[in-house]
Amino acid sequence: MFSSVIPLRRFSVISSRPFDDVVQSLEAAIGRTDSAKFGSALRAASNTVELSILVEATIGPSGLMEFCRFDQGEVLRKDATQAHRRILRLIVGNPLIMKDLVTTVPDAASYAPITILVDQRDDGVHLSYDSMASLIAASKDQAALATARDLDDKVESLLSVAAI
């Protein structure tokens, strides 16, 4: 059995904008697709050229696409004392970036696609992301770390813009 401790860097920004406005900003930058149709098209792609064409047609201006979302606030709002809670977890990424990461660092598949958490709190709307580079840093694979840093830059820019 093997166990290790992985230091994590979490990027967070707080917005004074309304929750729905922040989510709309994210949605405008992240490609959205029908996951069943995308999955079928992904299975039908026979090589990386076809995969690239599919992904490029699906991603948004941020270079990312949404795979799914979880309205975790829905569960909390069942408790009358939490009726105001809004928490949305977006699972986003880019299959081409994931491929580049996982080719040399298989453990990266545990973290890709990534999570963006949008959480309404008393002091504003928090947007959070756990840095891919910090999650795979132990691998010391320079190519994968460069790809992870590029992904981190994309996501941190996305969150920063959505917050303003």
Quote the pLDDT of residue 91.
96
> What pLDDT band is residue 4 in, cutting at 50, 70 and 90?
confident
Which tokens sit at 32? 């959205």
Fold of 10-163: TATA-Binding Protein (3.30.310)
In the chain, the percentage of residues whose pLDDT exceeds 90 is 82
Average pLDDT over residues 24-48: 93
Quote the pLDDT of residue 152.
97
The residue among 66, 73, 68 whose CA lies nearest residue 118 is 73
pLDDT tens, position by position, 56-89? 999 999 999 999 999 998 888 888 887 788 999 9
> What pLDDT band is residue 113 in, cutting at 50, 70 and 90?
very high
pLDDT tens, position by position, 127-148? 999 999 999 999 999 999 999 9
The residue among 97, 125, 126 whose CA lies nearest residue 111 is 97
Q: pTM to 2 decimals? A: 0.91
Report helix, strand and coil shares of the chain as percent, to nearest 5: 50, 25, 25
Average pLDDT, the chain: 94
Cβ contacts of 20-23, under 8 Å, gap ≥ 24 = 22/118, 22/125, 22/127, 22/162, 22/163, 23/88, 23/118
Which H or E element spans position 88? Answer: strand 87-93
* Domain definitions of the chain by residue range: 10-163
